A and B are shown apart, each in its own frame.
Chain A
Amino acid sequence: MKGLILKDIYVLFKYLRPYMYIVAFFVILNFISPSTNLFFILYPCSFCSMIPIGLVSYDKAFRWDEYSATLPYTKGQLVSAKYIIALSSQLAALTLTSVAYAVSTSLNGFFEIKSFIFLMMTVMGSSLLTSAVSLPLILRFGAEKARIILYGIVGVTIAICTMGNGMLSKGIHLHYREYVAVTVVFCAVLVLYALSWLLSVRIYKRRET
């Protein structure tokens, strides 16, 4: 499967550079922003969950989807490569933006580890949820139709940001029970991501190239 991931990385660096520029832009914003804004962390991560849509779209355009079917890869491996890329790119975006956020809030004197972890779980959870929903749809209906999902993702991101920003501006003061609830929801998203992975493999196995 290394070959598949390497190919996706080549395509990502050549055609999907805007994703990297946007992540870099938000990392800088997190550093220089005087106030905390959830949008600056959540958006780059959610945006990276769109990378597989771009990759599937390029695969179709280059007819890689047909060519890869002639190579010694199982359909499971072909699908897994996209899930691994989605997960790694979101983790990379989260790491960069969260480091920027942590440094910025520490310098301003309001860094708090518990709320930081809460934030990271919320961001990664909602971002993974996006991938978990969009990837099976992309593989079932194709990247073109799946673009409609983009509008949904933007809507959900804005909704989460609006709610989250209210909490951030007041400071996050959660009780133990609420931390547990967030952790449970985050774990549920991880399970959903794994189920989505399995579902996508099933969808792809039925598809004829």
Chain B
Amino acid sequence: MNAIELRGLTKKYDTFTLDNINLTLPSGCIMGLVGENGAGKSTMIKLIINMISRDGGDITVLGKDTAKDIDLIKNEIGIVLDEVGIPACLNACQVERIMRHTFKKWDSERYRWILDLLSIDTKKPFGKYSRGMKMKLGLAVAMSHGAKLLILDEATSGIDPVDRDRILELLCDFTRVEHHSVLISSHIVSDLEKLCDYITFLHKGKLMLSEEKDALLSNYGIVRLTSEEFAGVPREAVVYKKDNPYYTEALILREKLSFEANVLPVSIEELFVFMVKEEEKL
């Protein structure tokens, strides 16, 4: 069973359209959602959890159609949006009392364990927390009710590197349990590169690619060649090129390169930036 399946997902606004999105997150995997501001990441996440209505397409989460069964599904998924909307006056203990009456499988012990692990002050009211602390409390709630799928929208932003690392470890531990999956969007692409099995690029409401991370990293590479050397590179191998006074830098598809060249590894961030730039040239 797949954790998430989107088929032809479309949402139209006056100035923006999320257009015909097709993707699959197999269960047991972590998928990173990469895109510039306004690319449609949050819209896609809100559509998946039925917070906004779709104009077309099908969404299946944990094998259930979200249009019919979203209220059942929400007990099995943990969601953290870019803002955690807990009232400012509540402390972590009061939040626990509320959530105990909210989720069917609320696990108080696990909640307290995560609060300890992430050094969350349980006495302080939520409004006095830093942004990072707020996100951490949101994560603690999302991970304490036996969720099989976590959906995180910019959940690591505003968190210091040490805590981010703890959270990434926590997410890795979460997916060690069979059939546990994560969909995470973040601007910190290096985190996604560390964490994810699958990478999805969104740009201006369109899906640019959705592939296994290892395949992406092995399929693409960067070459820096003189203009004479670059003339020998087949056009179909070039995804993006940038001319400098001394050399030409290009993102290439390794398998289409017809000669031996020093191909440098590409990071997910570089891959995304190059692909977006190429798209914008067209």
Interface residues of A (CB under 8 A from B): 2-4, 6-7, 10-11, 14-15, 58, 62-74, 208-209
Beta-carbon contact of B101 and A63 below 8 Å? no
What are 20 A-B residue pairs whose CB atoms fall within 8 Å in the complex?
A: A2-B101, A3-B101, A6-B101, A7-B87, A7-B98, A14-B87, A62-B85, A62-B88, A63-B83, A63-B85, A67-B81, A67-B84, A67-B85, A69-B51, A70-B49, A70-B81, A72-B72, A72-B104, A73-B74, A208-B53
Beta-carbon contact of A15 and B89 below 8 Å? yes
Beta-carbon contact of B81 and A6 below 8 Å? no
> Can you list the 5 inter-chain pairs with the closest CB atoms, starting with the nearest?
A67-B85, A63-B85, A3-B102, A3-B101, A72-B74
Write out the residue numbers on chain B whose beta carbons fall within 8 Å of the beta carbon of A72: 71-72, 74-75, 102-104
Q: Does B266 contact A (CB under 8 A)?
A: no
**A71 to B85 Cα, complex, angstroms:** 11
Beta-carbon contact of A208 and B52 below 8 Å? yes
Residue among B51, B72, B87 with the highest chain A CB neighbour number at 10 A: B87
Chain B residue at minimum C-beta to C-beta distance from A1: B101
Shortest beta-carbon distance from A1 to chain B in Å: 8
**A208 to B53 Cα, complex, angstroms:** 7
Q: Does B90 contact A (CB under 8 A)?
A: yes
Known: A70-B81, A72-B74, A72-B75. A64 touches B51 (CB 8 A): no
Please tell me the number of chain B residues within 8 Å of chain A, measured between CB atoms: 28
Interface residues of B (CB under 8 A from A): 46, 49, 51-53, 71-72, 74-75, 79, 81, 83-90, 94, 97-104
Known: A208-B51, A208-B52, A209-B52. A67 touches B86 (CB 8 A): yes
Chain B residue at minimum C-beta to C-beta distance from A76: B71
Shortest beta-carbon distance from A71 to chain B in Å: 5
Chain A residue at minimum C-beta to C-beta distance from B103: A72
Write out the residue numbers on chain B whose beta carbons fall within 8 Å of the beta carbon of A65: 85
**A209 to B103 Cα, complex, angstroms:** 21
Beta-carbon contact of A70 and B51 below 8 Å? yes
Chain B residue at minimum C-beta to C-beta distance from A66: B85
Chain B residue at minimum C-beta to C-beta distance from A63: B85
**A2 to B79 Cα, complex, angstroms:** 20
Chain B residue at minimum C-beta to C-beta distance from A77: B71
Write out the residue numbers on chain A whose beta carbons fall within 8 Å of the beta carbon of B103: 71-72
Beta-carbon contact of A10 and B51 below 8 Å? no
Write out the residue numbers on chain A whose beta carbons fall within 8 Å of the beta carbon of B46: 209
Shortest beta-carbon distance from A171 to chain B in Å: 47
Other-chain residue from A3, A10, A11, A74 in contact with B99 (beta carbon distance below 8 A): A3
**A66 to B52 Cα, complex, angstroms:** 11
